[in-house]
Structure formats: C-alpha cells, structure tokens
Amino acid sequence: MSRKYVMEFERPLIELEEQLVALRRIDLSDNPDLMIEVSALASEIDRLRIETYGHLTPWERVQVARHPDRPKVQDYLAAIFSDVIELHGDRLYGDDAAIVAALATLDGRRMVVLGHRKGSNTKENIKRNFGSPHPEGFRKAMRAMRLADKFGLPIVSFMDTKGAHPGIDAEERGQAWAIAESLALLSELHVPIVTVGIGEGGSGGALAIGMGDRLIMLENSYYSVISPEACASILYKDSARAADVAEPLKMTAGDLLDLGVSDETIPEPLGGAHQDPEAVFSAVSERISSAVGSLVVIDDDELVERRYKRHRAIGVFEEGA
Amino acid sequence: MPIADWFKARDERRYTSIGGGSAQTDVPEGVWSKCDACKRTIYEGELVAANRVCPHCGHHFPLTAMQRIDLMADEGTFVEFDAGLTSVDPLQFCAVKPYADSLDAAQDKTGLNEAIITGRATIGGHDVVIAAMDFRFIGASMGSAVGEKVTRTLEAARAEKRAAVIVTASGGARMQEGILSLMQMAKTSSAVARLGSAGLPYISVLTDPTMGGVTASFAVLADVVFAEPAARIGFAGPLIIEQTIRQKLPRGFQSAESMLQHGMLDGVVPRDELASRVSLVLDYLALASQSGDAS
Ligand SMILES: [Zn+2]
C-alpha cells in the first residue's frame, strides 16, 4: 500500500479514516453493535473533517500550499491549455528547469504562459531544483516576456516557488540582477499580465514573474516577503517556530486581498486543491479567461500606466511635518 | 497628543540632529577607533579626514546617510525632501517585539525618521536627486517608507530632468511589513524603468552591505553601477546559502571585487574617488540627456 503524504495537522483525521477503512473491510453483517459503531465513527469523521479543514490557520495553509500532490503549473498546462509549445533557454547560459515558459492556448486565446515549475516527484524535483530558479530561469522568462510584448500575446504567470535559489552559482551569475531586470521589464510590457498564485509565493523569486495587472490567489496559496522558517530563524533564532510568524507576516490569500495586493481569491475544495484538482482547474481557467478578457480591451499605453499606478499605490506610511 | 502633533514634535526634535550637515562637525575630540580589518587604532580626527577609510589598510568604515551625502554632493547644495515621511506599522507586526518599538528605537538611535535620506543637490555642478541609505536604521531595510522615498526620488528626477544618484546599503526587505515591503521592489523598479525611458541617467553606488530586495530592485538597475571596495553585495545572505548548500563559502564571495569579476558592476571605486567618478560619468550621460536643452 502506497503511503500517502500526511500534513501534521490532519493526522488525527487521517488515522480515523484509516480505522474506518479497516473496519469496513470486515464483514459486520452478524454484528449489529459494531455496525452502529462504524456508522458513529463515520459521522465523527465527517465532523472532524470540517473541524480540521474548515478554518485553517496561516501555518496550516502554508503546509497545504506545499503539499506534494497539489496541482502544479504542468498540471494546469495539461488540463486547461491546448497546443502547448514549451520554449527553452535564456540564450546566455542555460535552460533552467525550475521555470517553464510556453506558448499556449486557453479558450481559443493564444498567450504566453510562465511558471515556477516544481517536480511531480522527488527525482523530478531534483532536476527542477524544487521550483527555485537560478538567474537563467528568470532570464528565460524575460525572453518569453519580450516575445509576448513583440507579438501582442497576453501573459499568464503561475507563481509557485519557495524562492529564488540561494547558492554560490546563482549569486555569481547575478540572481539579484536577473530579478530586478525582470521587474523593470514587466513594468513596461504593453500586454496584459495575469498572475495566479497556485502554491508558494516566496519573496523576490516569486515576484520576478508574478508582478502584473491582476493577482489571483488560490485560497491556500501564500505570498510572502520571507519564508516563515527564515523569518523565525532571524527573529527567534529558531526556524521551528515558523508557525508563530506565519500569522503576523500576513501571507495568506485572505490577507493579501485585505491588503489590496491581490484582486481575488479562488476558493479551494475542503482540505486543499489536491482533494479535487478538476474543480480547481475549471475555476482557475474561468478566472484567467475573465481577467485576460477584461484586460485585452484596454489600450496598451493605458495598461502600462495602470500597472505603474497599481504598484505605485502599494505601501502604508505617514507624511510627517 | 494627536498623532500628527506627535510626529511634528518628534521631527522638530530630530531635525536639528541630522540637519547639522557635515560629518566633521559632530566628531568628539580625542577619540580613538579600532579598525575592524587590521585591528590597529586610529585617531578619530585622522579617520574623519580620510572619509572614514583606515589609513593603514584601506578598510572602509560604514558611513551614515548624511555622511554619504556630504561625501557625494557639492558643498552646501543638498536640500532634503520628504524628511517627515515615516514608517507606520501597517500589519501591527509583533514577533519577539513589536515593530513599532523597533521603529522608535531606530529613530532614537539614529536621529533619522527613516533608513534613507533623499533630496536635491549638485554633483560636480550637475543637477541631481540624491538618496543615501543608513544601515543603522533597522539594517536600512526597505519597507513602505523607504520604497516610497526611493520612488519619489526617481519621479522627481524624471519630472525635473535631473540625474539620479543613489547610495545603497541594506539588509534587504523589511520583513515586519510583510508583503507590502516585497511590493516596494516592484514599485521602485517600475520607477527606475520610467526614468530610463525618459532618457535620464541613474547611477548607483553599492556600499557594504547591499543585499536582498534592495539589490534585486532599484540598486542594480542603474545605468552605471559602482561599489565601494570590499562591500558585500548579493541577493541571498551568506548564512542562508551555507544552510542550503551545506558547504563553506569561498573567500571573497559576494564581495564587490568578486561581483566586478563576474560582470555585475562597472567598477569598484575607493571612497575618496567616488564623487569625482560619479561626476565624470554624469559629464557623459547628463550631457547626452540634456542635449537640446537650453542649459
Ligand atoms: Zn585598517
């Protein structure tokens, strides 16, 4: 029996579910008392499921956002896009497998799709560096952005990364430069840019392909200036206290909506997107189409102006004397 | 006291301490410093005369934002703007201690309202907007106020057809402002792009340390990027990198000299040559951008 991935907070529920499955394998036709107990257990499980998943804490949402079975950019590409042609390489150094760039069609509309690409299994995750790009990944994305701009194709970007890769080679090839240049480029593209936060939104590495005209967040995706572990290790000198900073960092989809950083939240099935990917695909597809549709009608200079003002307006401060 | 009055009172109290201008005037007499690099002692007066560069080994001591501006701007030309712009605590962030307390402590310690000073000046006779960051203020991290001041500086350059010169030093984004601080990267980078589209020059000087979200936004987007000797420059901090890759970092990793070698900078410039170097670059770039102007 393959062991399924269990998030810490759902363990009591999963254990009861496993008990129920085991009990149901037994022939209980001549044991009415046990049959009653089984049905009581089933209703207890229903209650516990709602209790467990109904009101997730920010830290629990981070765990859902990182769930290995959570749909990833490649799943969205396969499920809701057609005629996908992947583009490769930054023409400078290499082809970063942690970033996907593709020509793709959604509801008959041709566009450029970008995304952080995590692997679907351990082997693929190693190849794709767990979705953490090197500079060449951002530079590949920039190639695709320029292509989109040149040929008037809207950009849809799927954000799902712990962050830009922290490593010697990444620094030496200009990680900060790649991110900064991507931001400057995105600010001036004359095509609509729609970002969907589908999982993790880790800092500058997320923003580097996530800055645009609309930000749509899945309910359990997060977007943060710093990972809760790194924040906890700075503030508490203990990364294990990540749960304590996930709330104050205001990193959930709901927080982002409240802060005016995101535009909408797509609700997820109880327990997370991995519980019913088909439902999520269909909602995401519909919301992307609607967002792109509302942006393509805007004059392209006006679009750039609005994008400038959108980011210009973010920030809270006090004008003193 | 109403909050506006409180800010006003605090501004008046503070302003005298930073408005005094030149670094030379607030040096206590008869103080000796020890060089972090060569461990030798240096008479404070000697250190000040050398722009806080160790006369023995050339180590560059950190400078305050005001000392930076004094170093770069033509004497007596600097006029600060947005001096009263301050951070608030938008998320009511509290972990270990409230962000509001960190802000108060930083303001008391530095006499500054925020981690950056911005204004107009001339450099070698060129009209510029100039900004300098002050690492003593919560590691000169970029929150909403720093992002806003940088953006206004770049927008002022565009509106007034001035060059922009920014001297950076920062630990990165100000995590106590959460996603709002991350978004300052988008905001400031957009402002740099706009300035560039207007054909106006922007020169940055990266000083020790310039890391994280400041490096990965306005700091490295300049037309010409200089750094001070031995300044640490990068995106990820060395500790995070060591933890991730589980190996020791090479000597000189993320130093200005190493970043120059990797093609990321236009030059590593000793402190006493910075102003003249920036001025000379402006002779080329500002001239080009102003051709057609009456001036
Ligand atoms: Zn020395």
Q: The domain that contains A117 carries what CATH number?
A: 3.90.226.10
Question: Among B226, B266, B235, B271, which residue's Cα sits nearest to residue B253?
Answer: B235
**A40, A55, A70 — which closes off a domain?**
A55
Distances (CA, A) of A164 to A116, A137, A312, B212: 10, 9, 24, 11
Encode pLDDT of A224-244 as tens digits.
Answer: 999 999 999 989 999 899 999
Check residues B161 and B1 and name the one with the higher pLDDT: B161
Distance B184 CA to ligand 1 centre (A): 36
A127-186 residue pLDDT tens: 999 999 999 999 999 999 999 999 999 999 999 999 999 999 999 999 999 999 999 999
Query: What is the β-pairing status of strands B85-87 and A317-319?
Result: antiparallel
Task: Please give the residue of chain A at the shortest CA–CA distance from B262.
Answer: A172
- A129 shares its domain with A226: yes
Q: Is residue A320 part of a domain?
A: no
Asked whether residue A321 is domain-assigned, the answer is no
* Residue A51 and residue A99 in one domain: no
Within a domain: A152: yes
Q: Are residues A51 and A129 in the same domain?
A: no
Is B21's pLDDT higher than 50?
Answer: no
Residues A169 and A22 both lie in one domain: no
Shortest CA distance from B249: residue in chain A: A168
Q: Is residue A282 part of a domain?
A: yes
**Is B288 or B47 the better-scoring residue by pLDDT?**
B47
pLDDT reported for residue A309: 98
Q: Is the pLDDT of residue B42 over 80?
A: yes
Chosen for mutation from A138, A171, A238 (greatest number of chain B CBs closer than 10 Å) is A171
Tell me the per-residue pLDDT of A59-72, one tens digit each, with 9 for 90 and over. Answer: 999 999 999 999 99
Q: Which two tokens stand for residue A225?
A: 């200036």
0.85 surpassed by complex ipTM: yes
Assigned domain for A283 exists: yes
pLDDT at B290: 63
pLDDT (tens digit per residue) in B127-185: 999 999 999 999 999 999 999 999 999 999 999 999 999 999 999 999 999 999 999 99
- Contact check, Cβ <8 Å, A314/B187: yes
Q: Which residue has the tokens 């710093």?
A: A226
Residues of chain A in contact with residue B237, where contact means CB-CB under 8 angstroms, are 166
Residues A99, A231, single domain; the answer is: yes
Q: What stretch(es) of chain B map to CATH 3.90.226.10?
A: 63-294
Model confidence pLDDT, tens digit, residues B58-114:
999 999 999 999 999 999 999 999 999 999 999 999 988 999 999 999 999 999 999
In this prediction, residues A254-282 reach a mean pLDDT of 98
In the reported structure, the alpha carbon of residue B61 is separated from the centroid of ligand 1 by a whole-number distance in angstroms of 9
The boundaries of the domain holding residue A16 are 8-55
Of B148, B175, B216, the CB nearest to A317: B148
At position B55, the amino acid (one-letter code) is P
Do A67 and A45 sit in the same domain of this protein? no
In a domain, A174, yes or no: yes
Pair (A110, A191) in one structural domain:
yes
Mean pLDDT on A290-318: 98
A78 and A25 inside one domain: no
Whether residues A33 and A74 share a domain: the answer is no
Residues A141 and A278 in one domain: yes
Q: Percentage of chain B surpassing pLDDT 90?
A: 81
pLDDT digits (tens, 9 = 90+) for B202-233: 999 999 999 999 999 999 999 999 999 999 99
Spacing, Cα B235 to ligand 1 middle (Å): 27
Alpha carbon A197 to its chain centroid, in Å, reads: 4
Closest Cα to residue B137, out of B102, B177, B176, B181?
B102
Phi-psi region of B9 (alpha: psi -120 to 50; beta: other; left: phi over 0): alpha
Same domain, A177 and A51: no
Name the band, by pLDDT with cuts 50, 70 and 90, for residue A1.
Answer: very low
CA dihedral of residues B226, B141, A213, A174 (deg, nearest 10): 40
Q: What is the pLDDT of residue A306?
A: 98
Which among A225, A235, A312 has the least Cβ separation from residue B182? A225
Q: What is the pLDDT confidence band of residue B53, given thresholds at 50, 70 and 90?
A: very high
CATH architecture of B63-294: Alpha-Beta Complex (3.90)
**How many structural domains is chain A composed of?**
2
User: Chain-wide mean pLDDT for chain A?
Assistant: 95
Confidence of residue B15 (pLDDT cuts 50, 70, 90): very low
Predicted confidence at residue B11, as pLDDT, reads 42
Quick check: B103 and B92 in contact, CB under 8 A?
Answer: no
In B, minimum Cα distance to A210 occurs at B186
A204 near B216, Cβ under 8 Å? yes
pLDDT at position B291, please?
Answer: 57
Indicate whether A101 belongs to any domain: yes
Residue A28 and residue A92 in one domain: no
Residues from chain A contacting residue B174 (CB–CB below 8 Å): 225
Name the pLDDT band for A28 (thresholds 50, 70, 90): confident
Tell me whether residue A17 is in a domain: yes
**Partner-chain contact A230 B11, CB within 8 Å:** no
Q: What is the pLDDT of residue A30?
A: 82
pLDDT greater than 90 at residue B28:
no
Specify the pTM.
Answer: 0.93
> What is the whole-number distance in angstroms between the Cα of residue A68 and the centre of ligand 1?
52
